[in-house]
Amino acid sequence: MSGSVYKLRCPHCHHGLRVRNSVALHPLLRSTYLQCTNVGCGATFRGQMEITHSMSPSGCPNPEIALPVADAEIRRLAIERENNQQMHIDDFLFDEQE
């Protein structure tokens, strides 16, 4: 699996933003520096990425980290979203046969 895609959009021109740099402020918090990918816009921003909930338990938990578990509805929606993004082998096989 390749890396994740950062999906924030520039609030001015709506082109994608890329993370230019980030700084750890805490094990659960990073300060991010973002840049618009539209050369004509060129806007830059500072934001934060924060880990707020655990979706599934760790196999090697850090005793210094205590995160609440996301409620069942949030976990169910995340599973549905992931399932909708995956290619189904039946879809691939049927596309090849047509």
Do 2 and 39 share a domain, yes or no?
A: yes
User: What's the domain range around 36?
Assistant: 1-51
Please give the tally of structural domains in the chain. 2
Q: Is the pTM of this model over 0.95?
A: no
Do 47 and 64 share a domain, yes or no?
A: no
Do 31 and 8 share a domain, yes or no?
A: yes
Beta strands in 2-97 (DSSP E): 17-26, 29-36, 44-50
Do 41 and 12 share a domain, yes or no?
A: yes
Q: Which residues of 18-32 are buried (b: 16+ CB within 10 A; e: fewer)?
A: eeeeeeeeeeeebeb
Do 35 and 65 share a domain, yes or no?
A: no
Do 45 and 67 share a domain, yes or no?
A: no
pLDDT in tens, 60-74: 999 999 999 988 888
Report the alpha-carbon distance of residue 67 to residue 40 in Å, rounded. Answer: 41
Do 65 and 91 share a domain, yes or no?
A: yes
pLDDT of the chain along its 98 residues, tens only? Answer: 344 556 899 999 999 999 999 999 999 999 999 999 999 999 999 999 999 999 888 999 999 999 999 888 888 888 888 887 765 555 555 554 44
Give CA angle at 79 (76, 80), nearest 5°.
85
> What is the pLDDT, as a whole number, of residue 83?
81
